[in-house]
């Protein structure tokens, strides 16, 4: 059976991707050691990870994604703080958070829920982890990537703070690139290739 490794997500604007690419370069130059850094062309916001999926299901996923997208109005997003998942002494993931304007706050979570309901109705397993929107920057931090080291490196070229993982606390928005999300994308992952993600379906939001 021919399987594709798939996920649904949002693309970043060119300005947001360039900002984060510059930030990652700066962190590397300052000696932050992670096993792998995200290729600038692969920066995205994951909505639903589908994993290894029969290629025959791609049309079904496309149809339900198009349906959810057609019921969603475009909404604004902005980059906020950096943070980590995993042990502070050797973080598993380095990420950048997202914020929405007060007038449309919750639009991203609503899209995630709409897609999740349709995926579940089509027989896809529900994700166990709660949705926490972010852009993954790097994975597999070494021992030298302690919160103190990350704070120092992040402040090396920006006034934006680095925050250790605190799920219960609200993100603090900063002056960062903002853009309007106007559609969602179905991505296929090509393991061992950089960039790794291929867009195989794009679904515009309602106009």
Contact 53, 1 (CB under 8 A): no
Place of tokens 């790097």: 138
Q: Give CA–CA dist 61/7, Å, rounded.
A: 10
> What tokens were used for 66?
């198009």
Catalytic residues: 44, 134
- What's the sign of the alpha-carbon dihedral 178, 100, 189, 150? positive
* Phi and psi, residue 184, nearest 5°: -115, 165
162-163/75-85 β-pairing: parallel
Contact 26, 156 (CB under 8 A): yes
């Amino acid at each position: 059976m021919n399987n594709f490794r798939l996920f649904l997500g949002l693309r970043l604007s060119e300005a947001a991707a360039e900002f984060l690419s510059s930030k990652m370069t700066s962190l590397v130059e300052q000696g932050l050691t992670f096993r792998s850094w995200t290729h600038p062309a692969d920066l995205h916001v994951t909505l639903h990870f589908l994993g290894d999926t029969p290629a025959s299901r791609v049309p079904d996923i496309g149809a339900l994604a198009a349906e959810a997208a057609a019921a969603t109005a475009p909404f604004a997003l902005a980059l906020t703080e950096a943070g980590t998942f995993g042990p502070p002494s050797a973080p598993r993931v380095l990420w950048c958070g997202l914020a929405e304007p007060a007038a449309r706050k919750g639009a991203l979570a609503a899209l995630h829920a709409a897609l999740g309901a349709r995926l579940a109705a089509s027989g896809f397993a529900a994700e166990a982890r709660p949705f926490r929107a972010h852009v993954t920057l790097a994975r597999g931090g070494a021992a030298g990537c302690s919160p103190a080291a990350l704070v120092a490196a992040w402040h090396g070229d920006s006034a934006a703070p680095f925050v250790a993982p605190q799920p219960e606390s609200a993100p603090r928005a900063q002056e960062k690139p903002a853009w309007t999300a106007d559609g969602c994308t179905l991505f296929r992952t090509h393991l061992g290739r950089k960039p790794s993600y291929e867009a195989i379906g794009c679904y515009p939001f309602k106009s």
